[in-house]
Amino acid sequence: MAFSVEKKQGFSVVVLNGDVDLSRSPEARRAIMKSLKKMHNVLVDMSAVDYIDSSGIASLVEGFQYARANSLEFALTGVSEAAMNVLRLARLDQVFPIYASLDERITSGA
Amino acid sequence: MHAMGLRGFTERLGRRFAGGVEDFGHGAMLLGESLFWILLGRWWQQPVRVRAMVAEMMQVGVLAIPVIAILAFANGAMMAMQGIYTLRDFGAESQLVAGVATAVTREFGALITGIVVAARSGSAIAARIGTMQMTQEVDALRVMGISPVRYLVAPILAALMLMMPLLTVLADSMAMVGMAVISALQLNMGFATFVDQVWRALTPGDVWQGLAKSFIFGVMIALIAASNGFNAQHGAQGLGRATTRSVVLCICAIVVTDMIFTFFLIL
Amino acid sequence: MASMSASKVLMGEPVVEVESLGATYTGIPVLDDISLRVYPGEIMVIMGGSGSGKSTLLRCLLGLHRPSAGRVRLFGQDISGLGVRQWVVLRKKMGVAFQGGALFNSMSVGENVCLPLREHTRLDPNTMRIMSRMKLEMVNLAGFEHLMPAQLSGGMLKRAALARALVMDPALVFFDEPSAGLDPVVAADLDELILRIRRAMQISVVVVTHELESAFKIADRITVLDQGRILMTGSVEELRNSDIPRVQRLLTRTFEEQPVDPEAYLRRLTGGAD
């Protein structure tokens, strides 16, 4: 299943799903980078992600780095407990802006 | 006591022979596997890396250029001097170029290249693979699912198969230069005349013979050196023995193969 | 930590399954009737002195040594009849940290860690770099990626090897002698690291060691190997309470006086000649 990108309230929401592993993370990376290169703020919706490995995380890191360099916003939403564990292991939970949902991001202002 | 000695001798001989057969089998396996990866690796998504091949070509080939150039030049000059000395008695100095040029392109260009590369790379390859074997780097490759033959041997084999004929062309040319210098000094032969005589003396077959041989020498060096590396016994002594054995075997194999080749091609 | 996980129920299909394995080395039998299982998420320590056969056992588990009897299953697959491609699939699911690190000397630490990715995936080089840096970060080697292996200390080499073993997110990691050749403080750090990685990545770990202290600290279960046979397999607690004399001796490190058979001893000394 491909990863969809939706325009919502000024954000490009990249919806990841299923397993984001070695075979599918290049696709996730492309989806994220494509939105960023259009100078969109990006939210990555991870609520449908069953499993994400370090190649998936690395793609998120790349996206975040690109966003920072171009003064764009990049945040994760709907991070499952399993995915959170992987992030914590690499201490990236302290790096990415993480919200429960798009709505939480909107109400949080910023 | 005497019988014991004889038995010991035959036993040692037998063991040597069995070892030789085993070596040969190991070499043949390496060759098969390397060729497999070179030809089909890409299709299996396990390619032999071009970068590794280029690095090996640099190591075994390009860096050998100065030594080969000097040795080939000297060899050409020596053969010319000896030739002049011998032919003078028959008043046949004019035949010098034809004789020496043929010998160089058929035999000595390839032989010099083979011996220099065997001496330089035969030991280096055995030492490198032997060290990697001891530090478990070869095991590390295996457990990563990377074939050590594909990763270590195939690039060397490919590099040698490509570089040996090229180096032989270089050796041939440098030997001609050496010969030209001596001819100019001793026979007052002009450069144009020299080139003309070489041109007329040599057939494409002469050159091909040398190149084909050098190709085979390259294959032999790669296989002998690699198999000695993989089979190196542990410890510094084992490594030393493996590298020495590698060089000696490479040079022996080259000279003997050369002789067999010549025997069948000339007679 | 160890006691907590020891009480954990061992569940699921074993990731490593050894069945009555035997092995010889240069014709001499070194392993006999070895059977053991490693379950998902478990740290299994294979312990034994030098000459106990633990290295050969590890080589058998890794498919580097052909057993003379019995079988080894990894992830449920018998490894004796695997083709090249099936092996590669299996290899991607396991990582190995060798005793001396076995890093490739011609490559930097970063390139070493990246190597499995470069050979087995088609990821973007940038992604690979980030992945390998993440793993170096995990083993506390951040910032060392540009160094060459020759510039690292023994402990750092082992940690770099661990990073390389982890880079493909394996489900099973083998660690050969993590504390050998290290001073106690560095060795303790490495033990801590193994525990942390297991906890975070939920992977199975097989550690081969001769260090009692390290084994007690990290093991869920310990298999004690002696002269090519398994003395016992059990939790740290079970090991401590074992009444097997040889196990007790191992724990208290007492030397066992071998009884002398005068006839045989004399024959040994004189080289067997009558």
* Substitution target from C16, C88, C111, C168 for chain B, most B beta carbons within 10 A: C88
CB contact under 8 A, C64 and B143: yes
B233 touches chain C (CB under 8 A): no
- Chain B residues whose beta carbon lies within 8 Å of the beta carbon of residue C96: 140, 143-144
- Chain A residues whose beta carbon lies within 8 Å of the beta carbon of residue C127: 25-26, 29, 55, 58-59, 62
| Closest-CA distance of chain C to residue B13, Å | 21
CB of B164 closer than 8 Å to CB of B66: no
Q: How many folded domains does chain A comprise?
A: 1
pTM: 0.85
Over the stretch C104-154, which tens digit does the pLDDT of each residue have? 999 999 999 999 999 999 899 999 999 999 999 989 898 999 999 999 999
- Chain A residues whose beta carbon lies within 8 Å of the beta carbon of residue C201: 89
* Whole-number pLDDT of residue B3: 58
Over the stretch A18-62, which tens digit does the pLDDT of each residue have? 899 888 999 999 999 999 999 889 999 999 898 888 899 999 999
Burial of B89 (0-12, 13-18, 19+ CB in 10 A): exposed
What does the CA dihedral C180, C181, C183, C185 come to, rounded to 10 degrees? -40
- Chain C residues whose beta carbon lies within 8 Å of the beta carbon of residue A90: 134, 137-138
A59 touches chain C (CB under 8 A): yes
Q: Which chains touch C (3 or more CB pairs under 8 A)?
A: A, B
Greatest mean pLDDT among B121-125, B197-201, C239-243 lies in: B121-125
- The helix/strand/coil state of A32 is helix
Greatest mean pLDDT among A75-89, C68-82, C178-192 lies in: C68-82
CB contact under 8 A, A91 and C137: yes
Q: Is residue A106 part of a domain?
A: no
Q: Is residue A110 part of a domain?
A: no
A108 touches chain C (CB under 8 A): no
From the list C59, C64, C119, which residue is nearest B144 (CB)?
A: C119
Q: Is residue A52 part of a domain?
A: yes
| Closest-CA distance of chain B to residue C86, Å | 10
From the list C64, C88, C119, which residue is nearest B139 (CB)?
A: C64
pLDDT tier for residue A109 given thresholds of 50, 70 and 90:
low
Inter-axis angle of helices B204-230 and B123-134, to 10 degrees?
A: 20
Over the stretch C155-193, which tens digit does the pLDDT of each residue have? 999 999 999 999 999 999 999 999 888 888 889 989 999
C169 touches chain A (CB under 8 A): yes
Domain CATH code at residue A65:
3.30.750.24
Q: Is residue A63 part of a domain?
A: yes
pLDDT tier for residue C254 given thresholds of 50, 70 and 90:
low
Q: Is residue A81 part of a domain?
A: yes
Provide the token pair at C61: 């588990």
ipTM of this predicted structure: 0.88
Query: By C-alpha distance, which of B244, B249, B240, B241 is closest to B222?
Result: B249
CB contact under 8 A, A29 and C135: no
Q: Which residue has the tokens 């939970």?
A: A93
Residues in chain C: 274
pLDDT at B78 over 60: yes
Q: Is residue A92 part of a domain?
A: yes
Strand partners for A44 = A14, A76
Domain, as residue range, for A86: 4-100
CB of A49 closer than 8 Å to CB of A83: yes
CB contact under 8 A, C64 and B46: no
CB of A18 closer than 8 Å to CB of A28: no
pLDDT tier for residue A100 given thresholds of 50, 70 and 90:
confident
Q: Is residue A18 part of a domain?
A: yes
| Percentage with pLDDT > 90 across chain C | 62
CB contact under 8 A, A54 and C126: no
Q: What is the DSSP string of chain C?
A: -HHHHHTSPP-SS-SEEEEEEEEEETTEEEEEEEEEEE-TT-EEEEE--TTSSHHHHHHHHTTSS--SEEEEEETTEESTT--HHHHHHHHTTEEEE-TT----TTS-HHHHHHHHHHHH----HHHHHHHHHHHHHHTT-TT-TTS-GGGS-HHHHHHHHHHHHHTT--SEEEEE-TTTTS-HHHHHHHHHHHHHHHHHH--EEEEEES-HHHHHHH-SEEEEEETTEEEEEE-HHHHHT---HHHHHHHHTPPPPPPP-HHHHHHHHTTT--
CB contact under 8 A, C134 and A55: no
Q: Is residue A41 part of a domain?
A: yes
